[in-house]
Structure 1
Amino acid sequence: MTVATDTPLVDTHFHLYTRDMPITSWAWHHPPEDASAEQFLALMDQHGVGYGVVAAASLYGQYNDYVIRCCRKYPRLRGTAFVRPDTDMYTLERMKADGIVGIRLFFRRVPDPPDLNSPEYKLLLRRVRDLDWHVHTLVSSPALPEVIRAVEEAGVKLVIDHFGKPDERLGVDCPGFKALLAAVERGRTWVKLSAGFRMPSREAARSYAQALLRVSGGERLMWGSDWPFAAFESGVTYGQTIADLHDWVPDAATRRLITADTPMRLYFGA
């Protein structure tokens, strides 16, 4: 494995939780141990990572309390949250003041996926736009074009996890991935190079990254570790996720764009 000679400044995708938090009845995974802010900050320091963006964990649904308190306590952190579509402006503004930078919409493995064409979600998307937040999502590939369309029509920034999770059978040729590439070119969508260990193979992850780099030149791409590697806890290390990034993006200047310049601007206003 290639040893990293430089390290990301910002990890834009990881989860924080404790096992005593209320978990949803439809949770697809039950974590074997805590993934606390203090554990992750120590890991960041060990690897020289400066800042982090917490991805709201679908396992805990609307229980954003722990993530919000962590972002409030540690200025190095920002986060996203699951919110109900009728959440009022004052609540959202308070969340922004505490370090929340966007909402997470989850369409996979949930009993009632969001309907972005409903009046309730159109209202929520307008409030997200007013706050200068973004929508952070992971969508099965066939549904991705419609989600992109709805978010773009609302004038909201969109951040898509895990290479857009292309259809394993079609890879870079699947319609969802092609829609993602087109959205990146239009300039309101960002994609995370993250969770390569969840892809069908190392070669598949590399091919997705290469396609995204061809379209973007590194602009509108970011990196995330996906710590604590839910369902892969014993098979992945943080160092491996950094080494994967070096495999996907061999050029140091492009890595700097992906792991520092773009996420600092999008999440930290720097």
Structure 2
Amino acid sequence: MLIDAHQHFWRIGQNDCVWPTPDLAAIHRDFGPEDLRAAAGPDLVGAVTVQSQPSDADTDWLLQLAQDEPLVLGVVGWVDLLSPRAPERIAALAAHPKFKGVRPMLQNLPDDAWIARPDLAPAIDVLVAHDLSLDALVFTRHLPHLLSLATRRPDLRIVIDHGAKPPIAQDAFDDWAEAMSRLAALPQVHCKLSGLLTEARPDQAPEAIAPYAEKLIALFGPDRLMWGSDWPVVNLAANYADWRDQARGFADLQAPAVAQAVFADVARRFYRLDAGL
């Protein structure tokens, strides 16, 4: 059984979709559930659909799409967490049974410390009250600030997307690994084994990601690590099946119980997906 903890849908030019841009030819087209089925094959029993635009319209469209789509078990949307209306918006979204959490697009914000701002507290309080989670789309430079939030708010469930987009292209392992180790020490922090192939240089072999993946497996293990395709973004570097098969081949994921956890059960538990299965 495979549950994909991280994938996207979009319609170019609709629902405030401004990315991907035309220069990204491999992914500059519409992607929907039937495309996901074709890419993933019969192993996939469900997926968590994650926002790709910093837009209420995008989030509303994803929830509408998910309404009658059994493959979509949960939606992680976008909310302007600093807006005075954020608590109201989050509470309204929480009424949708497939709404599971929010993802501020931290990688694109000019302030690396944005996530640690104290004035986010009203929005975070409502996330916690509705048992919603926070997806953290970050780089290494954001991790100390994410640690500050996570230390201050042990009641907030956090998952780090794409292993914090490690600097594979720069072969800069140590600073990333140290910062991730500090976050992994906090029990409410989870991580996605996703998005690694697109952080490598085109001239690097697929095996270049192995030390980073192995570090994530060691840090978060079968209790807090979940696999995600990052489809269709993964098409910039490989394809759905190639990444799935490469991840399944990591030595530390070979035990059946570990594989079951990383490729299904952690996502199901973290995102509270049982109602959809």
The percent identity for this pair of structures is 21
Are 2:124 and 1:125 equivalent residues in the alignment?
Answer: yes
Are 2:159 and 1:159 equivalent residues in the alignment?
Answer: yes
Q: How far does residue 219 in structure 1 lie from its aligned partner after superposition?
A: 1.9
Q: CA-to-partner distance for each residue in 1:244-267, whole Å, 9 max, x for gaps?
A: 211233333211110112111111
Change (3 A) 1:21 1:126: same
Q: How far does residue 222 in structure 1 lie from its aligned partner after superposition?
A: 0.4
Between Structure 1 and Structure 2, how many residues are aligned?
257
Q: Given that residues 165 and 196 in structure 2 are in contact (C-alpha distance below 8 angstroms), is that contact kept between their aligned partners in structure 1? A: no
Q: How far does residue 110 in structure 1 lie from its aligned partner after superposition?
A: 4.1
Q: CA-to-partner distance for each residue in 1:137-187, whole Å, 9 max, x for gaps?
A: 21121221212221341231111111222234354311x432222322321
Q: How far does residue 55 in structure 1 lie from its aligned partner after superposition?
A: 1.2
- Report the TM-score when normalising by structure 2: 0.82
Deviates more, 1:46-55 or 1:115-124: 115-124
Q: Given that residues 106 and 114 in structure 1 are in contact (C-alpha distance below 8 angstroms), is that contact kept between their aligned partners in structure 2? A: no
Hey, what's the Cα distance between the residues in 2 that align with 1:214 and 1:119?
A: 32
Partner residue, 2:94: 96
Hey, what's the Cα distance between the residues in 1 that align with 2:113 and 2:184?
A: 23
Partner residue, 1:71: 66
Hey, what's the Cα distance between the residues in 2 that align with 1:32 and 1:47?
A: 25
Q: Given that residues 14 and 225 in structure 1 are in contact (C-alpha distance below 8 angstroms), is that contact kept between their aligned partners in structure 2? A: yes
Q: What do you get for the CA RMSD once the two structures are aligned?
A: 2.5
Hey, what's the Cα distance between the residues in 2 that align with 1:120 and 1:41?
A: 41
Residue segments in structure 2 that go unaligned for 5+ positions in a row? none
Q: Given that residues 133 and 158 in structure 2 are in contact (C-alpha distance below 8 angstroms), is that contact kept between their aligned partners in structure 1? A: yes
Partner residue, 1:3: none
Hey, what's the Cα distance between the residues in 1 that align with 2:219 and 2:197?
A: 23
Q: Given that residues 159 and 190 in structure 1 are in contact (C-alpha distance below 8 angstroms), is that contact kept between their aligned partners in structure 2? A: yes
Are 2:240 and 1:238 equivalent residues in the alignment?
Answer: yes
Q: CA-to-partner distance for each residue in 1:86-144, whole Å, 9 max, x for gaps?
A: 33444323322321111102122345777234454121111111111111021121221
- Map 1:9-158; keep pairs closer than 5 Å: 9-23=2-16, 27=19, 29-30=21-22, 31-44=27-40, 46-58=41-53, 61-63=55-57, 64-77=59-72, 78-85=74-81, 86=83, 87-98=85-96, 99-110=98-109, 115-154=114-153, 155-158=155-158
Q: Given that residues 112 and 141 in structure 2 are in contact (C-alpha distance below 8 angstroms), is that contact kept between their aligned partners in structure 1? A: no
Q: Given that residues 105 and 114 in structure 1 are in contact (C-alpha distance below 8 angstroms), is that contact kept between their aligned partners in structure 2? A: no
